[in-house]
Structures are given as C-alpha cells and as structure tokens.
Structure 1
Amino acid sequence: MLLDKVDFLTKQADDDGCIPLHYVAMNRKNVVEITKMLLKNNESSAYIKHKKGMTALHIAAYNEYYDHKIMKEILTSCPDSYEEVDDEGRNVLHHAVTTTYLSNVKFILEHASSLILNIKDKDGNTPLLHMAATSSWNLLVLKALLSHPQVNRMSLNNQNNNIRDVYMLQFPIREKELIKRFKESSLVTSTSIATVTFAAGISMPGGYITEEVGHRKESGSAALRNSVVFQFFIITNTMALLPSALSVFFFNILLNITYVEGEHGDAKLKNYKLCMRLTIWALAFMMLAFVTGTSATLSLSTVLVIPVLFIGWIFGLCISFWEVDERII
C-alpha cells in the first residue's frame, strides 16, 4: 500500500492546513474504511488541526452522512481526542449542537464525560450556551441537551448570562422575523375577514324590502328579518366582524407599542397569541355566518339546508377550539 511506503502523507497538509483525515471527515461518501486505514497508519493525525483550529473530529460533527460512524472510528483509535478544542476553545459538542444532526449529538452525549459536556469556550459558553448564542436552534437537539443529567443547565458565561439571558439577547433578530411574518399573514387575514363580514352585513342574504307592506313603512328592512336562521346569521356575522377588527386593532396598536417600548419577548409572544386567537375565532364565526346565511336563503330546500348547516357548524366549532402553539408563531 502507498501509506506503508510513504508514511508522511497522512500528515501532509494543504494551503488550508487540511490533512487527508480532515477531507475524509467532511466527505459525503462511505469513507469509514479509509478512516480506519489512515488512523491505523498514524493515530496522531486525529490531533492535527487545520488553520481554523479544527480537528477531524470537529469536522466530522458537521457530517450528516452515515450517522456518527466517522466520529466513532476516530474516538475508538484516539479516545482522548474528545478533549481537543479549536482556536475559540470549542470542543466537538460545541460544533455538533449548531447542526441539525441529532444522531451526532446523541452519540457524544452517550459517550462523553461531564467535563466534555460542560466545557466552556473563550466566551465562557458551554455547548448549551453556545447553541443559545447562535441562530442554530433545533428543538430536538435542545431537548437532548436539556434532558441529559450531566449537562449543566444553570451555567453562566463570561457576561454572567445563563441560557435564558443568552436567548433573550438573540430575540430581537427573531422578533423582526416574527413581525414580518405576522404582517404578511395574520394582519392580511384579519383585514380580509373584517371586509367580507362587513360587506355581508350590508348586502344581507335575501335582500331588502323595497315597498310598503300594509300601513307600515318597512322599505329598507331585511326581507328575511323574521327568519330564525337569518337571525343566527346576523349574530354570527357580527361575532366574526368584531374579533377580526380587534385583531387588526391590537396588531397595529398593542404590538407596535410593545415593540417600540422594547418589552421582553414573553409579552410580545402573548400579544401575538392574542391576535392569532382573535383571527381564529373570526374565521370560525365567518364560516358559521356563511352557512346560516346560505341556509336562510335556501329555507324551502331542506335537502340542502341540513348538510350545509351540519358541515359548516362542525367546521366552525373545530376551528374555534384550535390551540395556538408558540412554535408556529
């Protein structure tokens, strides 16, 4: 074999300081056997860092292919390579938590010591705090860290910030994204519902009376005003208009005030949830108003009225009880 004759090739670095083992660690093909050969020929290559201070183990933490097999091979040959850190003082877990590759994180959590799990970088951030300080928030990875008994959830960095403090420092970036999404969805939806229900209330199903009836002047009154189903339409249409109008009001007034005054994320999320809940209610009552209005004009056709009322009310009730989840805000 070439490696048997030219041993120094395993340590030969390119202009970026990368040796063959580094390229193996970042390769997307099945290179487990090559990893074994390189380490068998020269185990010390596992400790060599490129110009950015990362070892092959650090690089392998970013590799989503073949699960954690490359990491396993490196650690089998060089168990103490866990302790290697880059130029920023970050170990393999620091790098792994900024990815979405849960299998790599779980592998490290299962085999590393508590020292590795809680080691701090130059900023005083443990892997958990480092994850909070970046934009790489993955719920499954976060749960894996928080559920591990040896991970210190109360550690502080050099600025005496815990995980909640670090997250809140990142919140303004997330907050702007939330507001942009909200303007494009909830506000438009609420305004559309308010417009449609207002128009439905003005136009009236069945139309208006345009002539005198007997001795009473009833011109301009709703033709179906005495119908019970039509009366339900008026009620549900009004109940659709009010929450949609309130949602628009709260979004333009309440949320903008809290944003300008710089309130913390908890208050803003509560306001977001309030507006979304109002929009959901408005959507539910708009559906109910549609079916009652339609049924009022089809009162002579029982075959159509019954299924329309049944389907519409079931759909409306299901929407009205929908829970607002913070993960979709």
Structure 2
Amino acid sequence: MTDSNGANVFHLAAHLNLARVFEFLRPETEYLTRARDLNGDLPLHIASKMGHVEHIEKLRKVSLLLNGQGQTVLHIAAKYGRVSVVRYILSNPDLGMLLNAQDNDGNTVLHLAAMHSQPAALIHLVRTDGIQLSVCNSECLFAVDIARRHRAKGYKIRHHLAFLALVCSLAGKGPLKSPELLLVRAEARNEELSVVRSLKSMPNRDIVKDYINSRMVVATLVATVSFAAGFAVPGGFNSSDTASKDDRGMATMLDNRMFQAFAICNTIAMFCSMTVVVNLIWAQIVDVDVAVAAFERTTLPLQIALPAMSTAFLTGVTLTIGKLPWLANTIFYLGLVFLLITSFAKLLEKPLLFKILGHPLRRLTFCLILAYIYLWRVETYIYDDDDAKDNRREKKTFASPPVDVAGESRTDDSAKANVRMRYILQVTDLN
C-alpha cells in the first residue's frame, strides 16, 4: 500500500527512523525499495535527506538508482547538509563514482551544496581527493559562481562560509591548472580567475571601518539637521494667545504648498539618513564581508537623503523671503541648479552616463538661467513702473495741489486738516 504521496512502508520507515521495519527487507520485498514516490524519491533518498546512515547502509546494497531529478544519494546529502551521510559516502571506496556525478541539470554535489549554502558539507567535499571543482552545469556555471550569487543576495553567515570554502579550495588545491578548464567558455574561465584574485585582495577591516565611519558622520549630520528642522519650521507655530483653539501649536504656513514640500523633503531626508545610520551601526559588529555588503546597501538611501535635505533647505529659505520676489527667485533658481548638479553627480561618474546625461544637464542648466534672467527683468520692470506711478501720484498730491475753476488753489478745510495731522505726528515723534 502507498499513501497519498505515493510512499510505501520503506519510505515511511526511512523518514521516521523506524529500524524495526527494515527487518522486512527480504528478497521478496526488495522491489519496494526501488519504487519512487510522487516526488521521484526512493527510500534511499529519503534516508539520505533525514541523515539516517544505518538505513542507507541497508538500502544501498539493494539499489543505487537515481531519483526523478537524476540525483544520487550524495546529491541529496549535500543538498540538505547531512554531514554524517557525506562522511559515510566519502569514506566508502565503493561509492567513489558518486563524487562527480551530475543530475539532469548538470549539477554536481558541489553545485547543490553551494546552491543551498551548506558549508559543512562543502568543507568535507573539497578536501576529498578526486573531487573536480572545475565542472560546469547546464548554465555553464561553476559551484563557486553559484556560491557567489547567494553570497551577494543574503546576509547569513553560511552563505559567506560556503563561498569561502570553495574559494579557498580553488586557491589551495590548484584546479585552475587543470586542462579541463580550457574547455569551458572564456567568460566562465575569467570569472573563476577573478574569484581567486578577489581572495588575494580581500578588503582590510580597518579600511572598511574608516569608510563606514566617514559615511556614519555624514548620515548622522543629515539626521541631526533634519530632526532639528522638523521642530523649527519656517514661520514658526501659532501661539496660544493669537490662534484659535483648533490652530494652537500648528504651523503658521501649513496651507502653503512650499511649506508642504519642505515638510515632505525633510521627512524623507530624516528617515533615509536614519536607515543609513542603523545599517552602519550593525555593520560594525559583524565580519568584513557583511560590513562591505551593508556599506554598499547604504549608498542609495544616502543619495536620496542629501538631495532631499537640500530641497528642504531651498524651499524653506524661499518660503521665508517670499515677500521680496527678486531675492526669492534668485535663491530658488540658484539652488535648483546646484540641486541638479548634486543629484546627477553620482551618475556622471561613469563615462557612458556622462555622455548621455552631460549635454542635457548643461542645456537644462542654461535654460534655467535664461528663465531666471527673463523673470527677473519682467519683475524689475513691473516694480520700477509701480514705483514711478507712486512717485507721480505723490508729486501730484503734495507738490501741485489741484486748482479750482477760478484759478485759486484749494486751501480749504482738507488742506488745513493735513497740516494739522502733520503737526500732530511730529509732536508724537518728539514725545
């Protein structure tokens, strides 16, 4: 009988470590050990997956067939990190043909151990004579390439240990001198050579710590400034004396669009910089590889925090001097040019991006300068015209009072009232 997964009694015994059931392993029941469940596994593979060496010793004498994925018992042991099974197979000379066997995807035991980040199994495998480190799978990848990919994706220590186990074996045992390496494509060969070079030029912990401390200072400064700006907003807050009950403690410029942009940019700068600070604090208490990975992952939040802080400063200053339009426009457009320069500074480090973005950025900066000059001239003309009108109106009112029909000046009660008011103002100023 089989269960819903297609497993028979020996599958279940290998899974639950029921040694008593294997007393029924007789010639008339050996066919059950060669049956596959719905996953394609034999009882031998189930015992290897669970790490039961005594059951493997009984089942391997009956059948060493492959599972549905073309994997041997050593493949399964390396995949699930069963070190006891790996040691048992490696110590048995009769099972030496399993060392470099490949499954349906071309993966050897090293590929599967690297794919599932099993450093304990890898350490025993790479120290075994006869293991071939320069075997490629169907994707033309070495085991060290797979380990490098998983190391770049995760922070777990076992990912880094699996990668170091393979790299150290490449540097120590010298498989690069094997003629089999010449048969693979040039890209894969160059990648393997770069792995060994990276081992020789691993970053020094002191140098990495200096980089982390420098970035920590910048991120802490941005967080401090953003935090202070959040409680010292432009325009201040409504006091309890002048504001209504609902508006007490609220910002005086809350309905202004420029103030809303200031609040959003300041919040973005605050939390991005805090993210950088937390990651860098965590990076200082782990090994150097994790520290380098954490340092690289703080680049993007810091690149967002710096322009956001600059935008918050620009909007805040523009908001506070808004009653003087020519000065507000001068600061706004000047800050906008520098904001574009700082935002694209990281992208323009690469030559290709410099060729693509350099010319449009210069053109955009030139257009902004022309727009500012045009707006400045228009506003200057308007204010000059308004001042001239005010001056003419003053001259007409005070210097040349209107003449009546009879040709006499109007020195009536209104003129006397103006003289009296002027006298009162002078006395008030003296007092």
> Larger Rg: 1 or 2?
2
- The structure whose residues are more often helix, as a share, is 2
Q: TM-score, normalised by structure 2?
A: 0.38
Higher relative contact order (CA 8 A, sep 6+): 1
